[in-house]
Amino acid sequence: MRILLIHNYYQIPGGENAVFQNLCRLLQRVGQEVEIYSRNNLEVLDFNIKDKVLMGLGALFSLRTWREVRNLVQRKRPRVAIVQNVFPLISPSVYYALKSEGVAIIQAVYNYRFVCPDAHLFTQGQICERCIRGNYWHAVVRKCYKQSRIVSGWYAAILQVHRLVRTFSHNIDIFMVPDDFMATRLIRGGIPAEKIRRNVNPFFVEDYQPSYEQGRFILYVGRLVKQKGIFTLVEAMARVSLPSPPLYIVGDGEERKELELMVTQGLSTL
């Protein structure tokens, strides 16, 4: 079977980019024909002011995506498309392009962008679910995305328009989620429960060499951002009575410098 994979790569590599590559690898391993349509947010670094304005408008509906995806589908004739991230360069126009050509759409969901402009359900250091029901004004007031009301308003407007015209709930056939928690949030946000399927992320055990050496330590592996809980973990370690096991942190992320500063402020257990 021929499958079209679609993903808008993030500037900073993370779990979603890795999952997309693993999915491509897995499908090819089991004998499926894979076609890829992708964009990369690194493109934005070379944009001039005019390009950025056009990108801002295109994030609502990209005519480029509409044309390119329809042409690709007409040439390759995939039976199904698995869509991951579409923001901001691909845009939700991809769903209309696929639907117009009769291609079944599976949406792989690894963040909360369908119900939250910031995609994390996390703002100002706290879990937040104010926008789930569709009132995205909360994100603007709290400057949830990149600490900017303008950029938060941009994403809020995009989601509001596509929520009103039912782009996601109507055009997408299946929402593939990794866990029950995400499923419940999508359902609360208006995604039909009968369209949700749970599926674990692909993982290749043979790529890793296990180590059976024992040790007394705490290990964190992941992106260095507050919503992952790493700052809470560091604060907790600072309160642990000595002697305590050392904490090893493996990863990178947007808030690495802030975390490094926090760690160097007298936390000898790290």
Distances (CA, A) of 141 to 153, 158, 163: 9, 16, 20
Q: Select from 35, 59, 61 the least CA-distant residue to 47.
A: 59
Please check the confidence at residue 123 and state whether its pLDDT lies above 60: yes
CATH for the stretch 2-205: 3.40.50.2000
* Dist CA 13 CA 221 (whole Å): 14
Amino acid 270: pLDDT: 46
Delimit the CATH 3.40.50.2000 region(s) of the chain: 2-205
Question: 247 and 230 in contact (C-beta within 8 Å)?
Answer: no
Please check the confidence at residue 12 and state whether its pLDDT lies above 90: no
pLDDT digits (tens, 9 = 90+) for 44-92: 989 998 888 999 999 999 999 999 999 999 999 999 999 999 999 999 9
Mean pLDDT of the chain: 92
Q: Would you place residue 133 in the very low, low, confident or very high pLDDT band (cuts 50, 70, 90)?
A: very high
Q: Would you place residue 14 in the very low, low, confident or very high pLDDT band (cuts 50, 70, 90)?
A: confident
Report the interhelical angle of 63-76 vs 93-100 (nearest 10°).
30
Mean pLDDT of 121-136: 93
Mean pLDDT of 253-262: 89
* Dist CA 74 CA 219 (whole Å): 49
* Dist CA 171 CA 91 (whole Å): 14
pLDDT digits (tens, 9 = 90+) for 135-168: 999 999 999 998 999 999 999 999 999 999 999 9
Mean pLDDT of 6-33: 93
Q: Select from 93, 31, 96, 108 the least CA-distant residue to 58.
A: 93
Mean pLDDT of 110-133: 94
Q: Percentage helix, strand, coil, to 5, in the chain?
A: 45, 15, 40
Amino acid 266: pLDDT: 53
Amino acid 267: pLDDT: 52
Amino acid 64: pLDDT: 97
